[in-house]
Amino acid sequence: MCGRYASTLPPEMMVELFKLMKSLDIIPRYNIAPTQPIAAIWEAHGRREAHFARWGLVPGWVKDPREFPLLINARVETMAEKPAFRDALKHGRCIIPASGYYEWHTNPDKTKQPYYITMEDGRPMALAGLYATWMGPNGEEIDSVATITVAANAQLSEVHDRMPAILRGNEIDDWLNVRDVRAREAHQLALPLEDGALKFHPVSTRVNSARDDDPGLIEPVTVERPEPVRKKAAGGQLDLF
C-alpha cells in the first residue's frame, strides 16, 4: 500500500505539467500522511483543476464520516465491485501529483525499513486516484480521495508486494476524462509500471512520524542488513527460519 508520499512541485510547474486552469497555493511537503488535506486534480464541466481534498475517501452515501473506516487506498482488483469505490471509478477519477512515495520493507527480524521511491528519470508522478464529495445535513461539503494500488512489479517486490498505479502521458488524459472514457476502459489504465521505471533507496525511520516533514526525510541512509532469524530444529540445533 501507499501510506506516505512527498510532493515538492512548485504550483506553476503543476499548472504546466497537468494542464490546469489554475493553480493551488501549496508548499513543498516531504511526509504527507492520511487524513491530511492533499492536492488532487480532476475534471468538472470541461475544466481541469486542482483541489484540496482529505486523504481518506468518504463516499457520498455515508451518514457520518466519523464512523466510517479510513479508506486511503483502493485495490485495483476489487475497486469496480466495492460500493465505496464503484461510483467514483465511473464519475470521480483523479490524479494526485507526487515527487515520490514511501514504502516499508519488513525485514526477517520483523523490523521495518522505509524506502523512498521515485521515477528513474526524475519526473513527477501522477498517482491514479478516486474522489468523492460528501455533503452533510447542514450543507457542509468534504472532498476526499483514495489512491489506487496494484501488484508490485518484480523490481518493487524487493520492497513491498503492492505499489501505487502511476499514470503517464495520454493515460492521464484518459483517466481524467470521465465524460468519454468509461470505467471499464479506465480500469485497464491502472497497471504496474515496467521494471526499471522506478528507483528507490532506504531513508531514515523519522518518516514514521507524521510530525516530521523536512527535506532530510528523502535523503538516502546506510542500513545494516539484519541477521537471519533462526529457530531450533529437531535435536536442538539452530536452522535458518
What does the H/E/C string look like for 33-97? CCCCEEEEEEEECCEEEEEEEEECCCCCCCCCHHHCCCCCEEECCCCCCCHHHHHHHHHCEEEEE
pLDDT 10s digits, 145-201: 999 999 999 999 999 999 999 999 999 999 999 999 999 999 999 999 999 999 999
CA distance 51 to 39: 6
CA distance 222 to 202: 7
* Alpha carbons 218 and 200: distance in angstroms, whole number: 10
Question: Partners of 139 in the beta sheet?
Answer: none
In the numeric block, the cell 514511501 is attached to 102
List the chain domain ranges: 4-240
pLDDT for 13 = 87
- The residues annotated as belonging to the active site are 2, 103
Q: Return the H-helix or E-strand segment holding 113.
A: strand 112-119
Hunting for cell 516531504 — which residue is that? 30
Residue 233 scores a pLDDT above 50: no
Would the pLDDT of 237 be above 50?
Answer: no
C-alpha cell of 57? 475517501
CATH architecture assignment, domain 4-240: Alpha-Beta Complex (3.90)
